[in-house]
A and B are shown apart, each in its own frame.
Chain A
Amino acid sequence: MAAECVRVVMGKIRLLFPAAELLAVEPMSRVDAPVAGNPVRTIDHNGLSVPVAVFDGDLRAAPTQETRRRLCAVLREGDSMLGLACDEAGAISAGGVRFHALPPCMQTADAIIPAIAVYDGALFSVCKITDLLRAGARPPASPGGPGPRRA
């Protein structure tokens, strides 16, 4: 089977996850309502409670209540799982993707996009779920910890 990448579109931001697996694309209506005292919203995926993140245009956590995104892409990358509020998500064949290093003048201290991918004439910012989480884009920690947990 050909290797696949996952593309996720959030407004003007187009992300490509070369190492992630797209587990599901669900309507945002399936995401649990926020609970008082716990701002982390979650979505159930096969009995796992997966945290859902909403990002602004700089990939910083935004309030989940205010999102206008209609979909939630559930991604897995190694041991990390994350739901991403988005407008589109899908898997694409890795064979058609070309990678370019991020130009040096675009580097910043908190950069988390190491490369730009070209697929079918469109550009994508290459990203890893682990980098999103490590860079502090993770939703505020819940009492049960940041990772997926049994519902």
Chain B
Amino acid sequence: MSAVACRAWLLPVAPPVHVAVGAGEIAHILAGRQGLHPVPRSPRWCRDVFLWQGQLVPLFDLGLLVRRETAAGPASGAIIMIVAYASREGDIRFGGLRARGLPFSREVNDGQMCDYPADYPGWERIAASCFADPVHGPVPVLDLPRLFGGPIDDARAGDA
């Protein structure tokens, strides 16, 4: 029996780290963004919210979570992917992902499953699985309801 294949979007979030979302999970792409609102005492990887089509959208910067980058300058993350997911309550919600480049599409099959990248210990908390891309190596597939549905601990807390 052949492996089940599906399409995914790959997002460069912290080069060389890429993450993937399902083909139907990208709702919109914003090139540059005004109107980001910083929220005091929010996690350093999710500091800003913005309005999109009347909805309040949190902006997640995975580079600041998985790579411990210190800040995202406007030039380093001017692309915002708006992703859609079903909440635990069953309604459709939106989240923003800061990307360092445009997303691109790949066909992925079960035979490509692999372990998460070793350089960040918290992938299990925010991803559902991982596949090996021939160019970019291990690519975690984001679990959007988990990523946006609750607080994310800093898996590196306590690291030197």
Interface, chain A (partner B; CB < 8 A): 12-14, 57-59, 100, 102-108, 110-113, 116, 118, 121, 123-125
The smallest beta-carbon distance between A113 and chain B, in angstroms, is 6
**Interface residues in B78-125 (C-beta closer than 8 Å to A):** 95
Hey, which chain B residues are within 8 Å of A57, CB to CB? 38, 40
Main SS of chain A's interface residues? loop
**How far does the Cβ of B157 sit from chain A's closest Cβ, in whole Å?**
12
Rounded to whole angstroms, the CA-CA distance of A104 and B89 in the bound complex is: 13
The interface residues of chain B, by DSSP majority, are classed as mixed
Residues of chain B lying within 8 A (CB to CB) of residue A118: 51, 56
User: Which residues of B in the span 17-69 have a Cβ within 8 Å of any Cβ on A?
Assistant: 35, 37-43, 46, 49-51, 56, 58, 60
CB-based nearest A residue for B151: A107
Q: Tell whether, in the assembled complex, residue B40 and residue A105 are in contact, meaning their CB atoms are under 8 Å apart.
A: no
On whether A106 and B38 interact (CB within 8 A), knowing A116-B49, A118-B51, A123-B51, the answer reads no
Q: How far is the CB of A124 from chain B (nearest CB, A)?
A: 8
Given contacts A100-B56, A118-B51, A123-B51, contact A106 B46 (CB under 8 A): yes
Q: Give the distance in Å from the alpha carbon of A88 to the alpha carbon of B120 in the complex.
A: 42
A58, A105, A108, A121 interface centre (most CB from chain B within 10 Å): A105
A105 touches B149 (CB 8 A): yes
CB pair B150 A108 closer than 8 Å: no
